Copies of this chain bind each other. A is one copy, B any other.
């Protein structure tokens, strides 16, 4: 059965790979599953046809036969559970890899989303300049803890897993802020993720769409 995902017709980041479809593309590339992409405009994302699949009117979605999913984390976990390459065989190691997926999405990403909000939705507010350092420090606090745990290891828990895929994807959102470079171990970790052939293919695929339109 063909896998169909959705992506922005034109990504807000212009093809830097930060739209969440890149995370799903990366997962599919790691496990060697082909997929088709349906592009969605900002207007179409808020219309009933798309809201029927994604109640929050976002991308990506995942369709495979009768199954329709939304939420990047759920889609990546679904892919990881059904194909070899993103989760270890050992049950305990598998549970720990899934733990890192949740840590990426619910512990590390929220303060990073606050920074995105502070810049893009509140960048013109009178408090913006004074408030930004507080937001950045909350991110630094989390990154310090993450860096301490990673130490000198290549990946968070043994071999590369869906947990690393998600954590690297979340950290990539920080690159333009310069904060990532304050944590050399994490900057190296992200670079290792980006160097994976599967990531490169995923990045190139989303860039091709956005470059063709800019």
A-to-B contact residues, CB < 8 Å: 51, 55-58, 66-67, 69-75, 77-78, 92, 95-96, 98-99, 101-103, 105-107, 109-110, 113-114, 117, 121-122, 125-127, 130-131, 134, 138, 142, 145-146, 148-149
Contacts and interface: CB of A to CB of B under 8 A. Distances in A.
11 contacts: A56-B145, A57-B145, A69-B99, A71-B102, A78-B98, A105-B106, A106-B106, A110-B110, A122-B131, A122-B134, A126-B130
A76 B107 CA distance: 15
Given A67-B95, A121-B134, 10 more contacts: A51-B145, A51-B149, A56-B103, A56-B107, A69-B95, A78-B95, A105-B105, A105-B106, A106-B106, A126-B127
Nearest to A105: B106
Contacts of A113: 110
A117 to B, nearest CB: 7
Contact of A131 (B56, B125, B149): B125
A113 B149 CA distance: 24
A92 B110 contact: no
A212 to B, nearest CB: 29
Interface pairs A-B: 3 shortest CB-CB: A127-B127, A55-B149, A74-B99
